[in-house]
Structure 1
Amino acid sequence: MLSLRAFSRSVPRFSRSIARTSMRPAVLPKPALLQPWKQATKPAYAAFSTSSVFREPAAEGDVELLAKLDEEVKHEKASGAEDAKEQKASIDYTLQAGEWQVKDVAGEQEVVLTRKFGNETIRVTFTVADINNLSEDPMDDLHDDALGDEAEYNNQGRDVEGEDDILPPTFPARLDIAVEKANQGALLIQAVIQDGDLQIEEISHFKDAEIANAHTAEKDWTRQSLYSGPPAENLDPELLSFWGRYLEERGLNVEFQNMITDYIAFKEQKEYVSWLENVRKFIAA
């Protein structure tokens, strides 16, 4: 993960090779030959020859950068393997149970889940970019939370354990939930998942289902110009609770919400490792 990755590395690590000099041995000039006539027939090459035979990294720092990238790839693959296995099993189970179809393109941030419910087509869209929406210094947040909760735990007769037992902060995962019906347009429900809770922010109805999905800038502009309904916080609390039930019955229950946050973390980690490998290949080429 990106923001959570910083939390897992509270002490910065530096490549052991930074303190070394260049690994390339110095090229010493050869002594002059005794036969001067042979020197006249031998072509002279500049020290900075660009011939493929003598190809070297563009700069000395490239060697150190490549070493660091190799180290990072190995670390991410080793440290995230077990978590990724558990997340993948949980994600697959929830998606199969809900009969969700997945559109997840490698290298892209957006993921789309689709399923049928009666005469409705439900489309849930989210992005891995949301994982960046953690505080800049999660260690400070954990420290403050631990101090604030210590008295409460003691009052309840519980033992206060170390920071390892404190759950890290979660990121707000935003969802666009489109519910379409043939010839009836679509509902667009914008919500956010955080700390195991789904909060509805806005509920809109569009006669044109394509406007609800807004795959183009033109459709998005049209959607913004239409009345989208009041903020959900202004709705009657009882009415809002019925909307929560409406989503639950369509498969967006607590299990689904937990799966979304796992999916974002899982995909971001996979994309990060792929990014490291692609950047390394570019530098080494």
Structure 2
Amino acid sequence: MAARLPRLVSLGCKSFRSPFRNLLSFSRANILSSYNTKLSYLPLRYNSHAVAKLKKSVESEIKHENEHLGEKFPDLGQFAKKLNYTVEHVYGEKTVKLTRKVDDHLIVVEFVVDDDYAQPFDENEDMGMEGQNEGENEAQFKDYDDSTSSFSCDITISKPSKPEAGILICSLEIHSEDFELFSVQYVKNLEDSENSYRGPKLTELDESLNSALVKYLNFLGINSDLAGAIAIIREEKEKREYLLWLEGLKKFISH
């Protein structure tokens, strides 16, 4: 067998290379044909007209935004200073965090500026289709106009000096300058929040318990004033993020 092995290899190579060469020849011919007859498939960098048109449009939009916003980025903390909240964020990132201490409570508010991509909340689905009446909406802080834009917001309430007390996680929807409270979740620590019980539907709570819960949150500064500040901060940050996106787009197409 050792003497026949070179012949088998030689025959194998001979039978394999011939069709492969034909395939390469066929593919190369088709590529050259497409290159010469279908110029629309050329890489974008060769289509100078398309690049120039896009760049001009982006530059025009940047100029428009700068004329209305000014080139100086505002300090978002100024919009929550009166409420004693500290604002944490980085331009170029989507998350905004507000923090405040009330007695032994630590309040942390978090939201994102691109929440518009999320599916809108279906009020009927959350409340249930049966047994609805005007009294079932008492969990809301205030009535709101369904036509206004809204976005979600999470608020965690903890007691740093008493970690054994656990944490409350409030899920809210902000409509213009009003809150709608969806749920209040209790967890031992934030790591357990994903798998922990989210709490009951607030519309199904006893009326007195619901009212007491809302008053407790108001005492901690979770009210319409905070909702208004969050709405302003989100709007201002989104404007600047849009401008940064335009500048990034210009930088990409210019290289």
Quote the residue 2:218 is aligned against. 248
Looking at CA atoms only, which structure, 1 or 2, has the larger radius of gyration? 2
Which one of the candidate residues 64, 71, 90 is aligned to 2:53? 64
Quote the residue 2:31 is aligned against. none
Seen in structure 2, the aligned counterparts of structure 1 residues 92 and 102 have a Cα distance that, compared at 3 Å, is closer
Quote the residue 2:178 is aligned against. 197
**C-alpha deviations, 1:78-104, integer Å up to 9, x for none?**
2345xx99xx68x64542222212210
Which one of the candidate residues 101, 107, 128 is aligned to 1:122? 107
**C-alpha deviations, 1:149-206, integer Å up to 9, x for none?**
xxxxxxxxxxxxxxxxxx9943212111101112211111111111432111011111
**C-alpha deviations, 1:222-241, integer Å up to 9, x for none?**
42322221112211233222
Quote the residue 1:179 is aligned against. 157
* 1:103 maps to 2:88: yes
**C-alpha deviations, 1:119-174, integer Å up to 9, x for none?**
11111111111345699xxxxxxxxxxxxxxxxxxxxxxxxxxxxxxx99432121
* 1:79 maps to 2:68: yes
Distance in 1 (alpha carbons) for counterparts of 2:113 and 2:63: 22
Amino acid corresponding to residue 244 of structure 1 in structure 2: V
Q: List alignment gaps of at least 5 residues for structure 2.
A: 1-44, 121-144
Distance in 2 (alpha carbons) for counterparts of 1:168 and 1:283: 40
Quote the residue 2:249 is aligned against. 279
Distance in 2 (alpha carbons) for counterparts of 1:119 and 1:275: 40
Contact 1:134–1:170 (Cα < 8 Å) also in 2:
no
Distance in 2 (alpha carbons) for counterparts of 1:168 and 1:75: 31
**C-alpha deviations, 1:36-86, integer Å up to 9, x for none?**
xxxxxxxxxxxxxxxxxxxxx5422111111010011111222345xx99x
Equivalent residue pairs, number:
184
Which one of the candidate residues 188, 194, 204 is aligned to 2:169? 188
Identity %: 27
Q: List alignment gaps of at least 5 residues for structure 1.
A: 1-56, 136-166, 212-221
> The residue matched to 1:224 in structure 2 has which SS?
coil
Q: With the length of structure 2 as denominator, give the TM-score of the two structures.
A: 0.64
Distance in 2 (alpha carbons) for counterparts of 1:270 and 1:96: 20
Contact 1:131–1:265 (Cα < 8 Å) also in 2:
no
Quote the residue 1:257 is aligned against. 227
> The residue matched to 1:199 in structure 2 has which SS?
strand
Moved >4 Å (runs of 4+): 91-94, 131-135
Seen in structure 2, the aligned counterparts of structure 1 residues 223 and 134 have a Cα distance that, compared at 3 Å, is closer
**C-alpha deviations, 1:4-39, integer Å up to 9, x for none?**
xxxxxxxxxxxxxxxxxxxxxxxxxxxxxxxxxxxx
Distance in 1 (alpha carbons) for counterparts of 2:94 and 2:103: 30
RCO higher in structure (CA 8 A, sep ≥6):
1
Seen in structure 2, the aligned counterparts of structure 1 residues 228 and 169 have a Cα distance that, compared at 3 Å, is closer
Quote the residue 1:41 is aligned against. none
